[in-house]
Amino acid sequence: MFEKLPNHVAIILDGNGRWAKERNLSRSKGHEEGFRNLKRLSKHVFKRGVKYLSVYAFSEENFKRSRDEVKFLMDLFVKGFKKDKTFFHKENIKVIFSGREDKLRKDVKQAMDEIVKLTANNNGGILNICLNYSGQREIVDATIKIINDIQNNKLNTEMITKELFSKYLYQDLPEIDFLIRTSGEYRLSNFMLWQNAYAEFYFPSIYFPDFNEKAFDEALLEYQKRDRRYGNIDYSK
């Protein structure tokens, strides 16, 4: 159906709050609806043949939000991962996480562990959930691990290539082909800076809870039109 298919799609799930506000609902309701949508959407994305889907669920900076909102989101993660781990498992989706575990509540880490373990052998698509995540921090953390390995004589500086550096990131993922940020904001917000180096960007104006299967297919249509040159030029054109 689509001639060009991105191997790795990433989505910045933005606009849950505004979606709720427009309907006179609480921000929490917007996040709930966002989570519900993510379930439906991930199934569809993998059905289309995409192999990797990375989503920005909670940034390191999101801890600056009100205590109530942070608590609501953490509760939602616990509830969602516990209740819906069987959904992802049934859909043959492998769930992994990127981010720092420090600052996360014990029950959140436990729910994350459970869904990771249950889905570890699935091969119908990899859902990478970025939680307590910062792209700059990820690069710093990788650098620290590399320095440690150099000090322990496991590495020397000549061995450090782009490919090797990638392996020190939170997850060893292929580069992102297509980055989508919903809600009409045009920012990267510290999201997967390394992996987005050559991504095509797409900024639909709708809020994440409304970014459904049809909206994703429209995004794929837009991707068909992109001419990815990676800094090169096609002189035959």
Q: Which is nearer to ligand FPP, 166 or 190 (CB)?
A: 190
DSSP designation for 154:
S
218/50 Cα distance (integer angstroms): 15
| Cβ-Cβ contacts under 8 Å for 26 (sequence gap 6 or more) | 20
Q: Which of 11, 14, 45, 125 binds ligand FPP (CB under 6 A)?
A: 14
- Residue number of the CB closest to ligand FPP reads 17
Is 153 annotated in the active site? no
> Strand, coil or helix: what is 125?
coil
User: Which stretches within the chain are classed as H helix?
Assistant: 16-22, 27-47, 67-90, 106-119, 135-151, 162-167, 213-224
Under the binding rule (CB under 6 A), the answer on residue 125 touching ligand FPP is no
Q: Which is nearer to ligand FPP, 132 or 146 (CB)?
A: 132
Under the binding rule (CB under 6 A), the answer on residue 52 touching ligand FPP is no
> Can you read off the two tokens belonging to residue 194?
């390394």
Under the binding rule (CB under 6 A), the answer on residue 138 touching ligand FPP is no
Catalytic annotation, pick one of 7, 62, 102, 234: 62
Q: Which of 11, 41, 53, 55 binds ligand FPP (CB under 6 A)?
A: 55
Query: Of 65-84, which residues contact ligand FPP (CB under 6 A)?
Result: 76-77, 80
Q: Which is nearer to ligand FPP, 108 or 146 (CB)?
A: 108
232/237 Cα distance (integer angstroms): 12
Under the binding rule (CB under 6 A), the answer on residue 26 touching ligand FPP is no
On the 0-12 / 13-18 / 19+ scale of CB atoms within 10 A, 125 is: buried
Query: Of 202-231, which residues contact ligand FPP (CB under 6 A)?
Result: 208
Chain-centre distance for alpha carbon 83: 20
Q: Which of 6, 17, 99, 125 binds ligand FPP (CB under 6 A)?
A: 17
| Cβ-Cβ contacts under 8 Å for 2 (sequence gap 6 or more) | 48, 49, 220, 221, 223, 224
Q: Which is nearer to ligand FPP, 22 or 218 (CB)?
A: 22
> Can you read off the two tokens belonging to residue 35?
């989570």
Is 14 annotated in the active site? yes
Ramachandran angles phi, psi of 179, nearest 5°: -110, 125
221/169 Cα distance (integer angstroms): 31
Among the listed ranges 15-23, 158-166, 173-181, 186-194, the one in contact with ligand FPP (CB under 6 A) is 15-23
Catalytic annotation, pick one of 7, 14, 37, 156: 14
Nearest distance from C-beta of residue 77 to ligand FPP, angstroms: 5
Binding-site ranges for ligand FPP (CB under 6 A):
13-18, 31, 34-35, 38, 55, 57-58, 62, 76-77, 80, 129, 208
